C-alpha cells in the first residue's frame, strides 16, 4: 500500500517523525480500531485516532446525545442533542476526513454480540462507564485475540490499561477487576461528576497508547505496556503505573483446571 500525495501532505508531521515514518503511517492507514462508547473518553479519542490516519473505525454506542454530554463529549454540538451518538459521530467523521471507512452500531454490547461488533479490529478502545459492558468487551477481546485499551475517568482521576490476556503470561481486564462486577451496578459520572478536561487527558493518552499498539514492530514508539495500568491524577498532576499480574484462575484468560 502507498499513500497518495494528498495523504502524504495531510500526515507530513507524522511521517517526519523517525518513530513513525512512512511505514508507520501506512500501517495506521491499514488498521482498524473499534471504539466502544462515544462519551467523554470515546469522543476525544476518536478525534485523535481519526486525525492520526487510522484507515477504518468501528463505532459502537447505543445512547443518544443529551445536553449534559456537551461538557466533555467533544464531537457533539447542540444540533446533535436527541440523535444517536454513533450516527452523530459518523457525521463528524465525514466532515473531518471523507477518506475514512466507518462502521457504526447503535446496539448495546452484551456477551452475545461483543465478538461480532469488534471482529476484524486490530485494537479495541473501551471507554464505557459500566463494568458489565467492560467485562463483555474484555472477554470478547481475549476470545478473539485482539489487544484492548480500557480507559475510565471519574472526578479528577483516570486510568488507562493495555490488555492482551490471550497471550501467555499477560493479564486481561478481568484479571484486574475480577468477577464481582458483571452486574450493571457501578457508579457513573452522573453520580460522581467529572471535569471535562480530565476526560480529555485520559482519552488522548488512551489514543496515544492505541497508536503504540498499532505501530509495534513497525516503528520505534516504544513498548505498548501490556499488563500495565496507568493512573492519572488531575488534582496533583502526575501519573503512576502499576503492573497487573495474570490471574491463573481468571475465567476469561486463565488456565483450565
| 92-126 per-position pLDDT tens digit | 999 999 999 999 999 999 999 999 999 999 999 99
CB-based contact 149:162 (threshold 8 Å):
yes
Please tell me the total number of residues recorded for the chain in this structure: 257
In this prediction, residue 2 has a pLDDT band, given cuts at 50, 70 and 90, of: confident
pLDDT at residue 185 greater than cutoff 80: no
**Nearest CA to 182 among 111, 253, 257?**
111
Q: What is the structure's pLDDT at 155?
A: 87
User: Residue 222 has what pLDDT?
Assistant: 82
pLDDT tens-digit readout, 70-98: 999 999 999 999 999 999 999 999 999 99
Of 239, 204, 240, 245, give the one whose Cα is nearest residue 226: 245
DSSP state of 221: S
Measured distance CA(66)–CA(189) in Å, rounded: 14
Q: What is the pLDDT of residues 170-183, one digit of tens each?
A: 999 999 998 866 55
Q: In what order do the strands lie in the sheet with 238-243?
A: 101-105, 56-60, 32-36, 123-126, 148-154, 157-163, 228-233, 238-243
Could you list the active site residues? 189
Task: Say if CB 244 and CB 228 are below 8 A apart.
Answer: yes
In the 8-state DSSP scheme, what is residue 256? P
Specify which residues 155 forms β-bridges with: 194
Give the closest residue to 92 by CA, choosing from 82, 40, 102, 13. Answer: 102
Reported as a pLDDT band with limits 50, 70 and 90, residue 12 is very high
Query: Which residue in the block uniquely carries the three cell numbers 476518536?
Result: 46
| Cα separation, 230 vs 104, whole angstroms | 29
pLDDT score of 220 more than 90: no
> Which three cell numbers mark 218?
513497525
Q: For residue 191, is pLDDT > 70?
A: no
**Residue among 59, 49, 131 at smallest CA distance from 102:** 59
pLDDT of 209 over the 90 cut: yes
* CA 183 – CA 48 distance, rounded (Å): 32
Query: What is the Cα–Cα distance from 189 to 4, expressed in whole angstroms?
Result: 43
Residue 23 confidence (pLDDT):
94
pLDDT for 6 equals: 96
Amino acid at each position: 500500500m502507498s499513500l497518495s500525495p494528498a495523504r502524504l501532505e495531510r500526515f507530513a508531521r507524522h511521517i517526519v517523525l523517525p518513530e513513525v515514518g512512512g511505514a508507520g503511517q501506512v500501517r495506521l492507514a491499514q488498521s482498524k480500531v473499534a471504539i466502544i462508547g462515544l462519551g467523554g473518553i470515546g469522543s476525544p479519542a476518536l478525534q485523535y485516532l481519526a486525525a492520526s490516519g487510522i484507515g477504518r473505525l468501528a463505532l459502537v454506542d447505543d445512547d443518544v446525545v443529551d445536553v449534559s454530554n456537551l461538557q466533555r463529549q467533544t464531537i457533539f454540538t447542540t444540533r446533535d442533542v436527541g440523535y444517536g451518538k454513533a450516527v452523530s459521530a459518523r457525521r463528524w467523521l465525514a466532515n473531518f476526513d471523507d477518506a475514512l471507512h466507518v462502521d457504526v452500531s447503535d446496539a448495546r454490547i452484551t456477551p452475545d454480540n461483543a465478538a461480532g461488533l469488534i471482529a476484524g479490529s486490530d485494537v479495541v478502545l473501551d471507554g464505557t462507564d459500566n463494568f458489565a459492558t467492560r467485562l463483555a468487551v474484555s472477554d470478547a477481546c481475549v476470545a478473539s485475540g485482539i489487544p484492548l485499551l480500557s480507559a475510565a475517568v471519574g472526578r479528577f482521576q483516570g486510568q488507562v490499561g493495555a490488555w492482551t490476556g490471550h497471550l501467555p503470561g499477560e493479564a486481561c481486564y478481568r484479571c484486574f477487576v475480577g468477577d464481582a462486577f458483571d452486574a450493571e451496578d457501578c457508579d457513573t459520572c452522573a453520580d460522581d461528576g467529572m471535569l471535562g478536561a480530565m476526560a480529555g487527558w485520559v482519552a488522548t493518552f488512551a489514543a496515544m497508547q492505541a497508536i503504540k499498539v498499532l505501530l509495534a514492530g513497525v516503528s520505534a514508539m516504544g513498548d505498548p505496556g501490556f499488563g500495565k495500568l496507568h493512573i492519572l491524577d488531575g488534582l496533583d498532576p502526575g501519573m503512576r503505573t502499576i503492573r497487573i499480574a495474570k490471574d491463573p484462575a481468571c475465567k476469561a484468560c486463565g488456565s483450565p483446571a
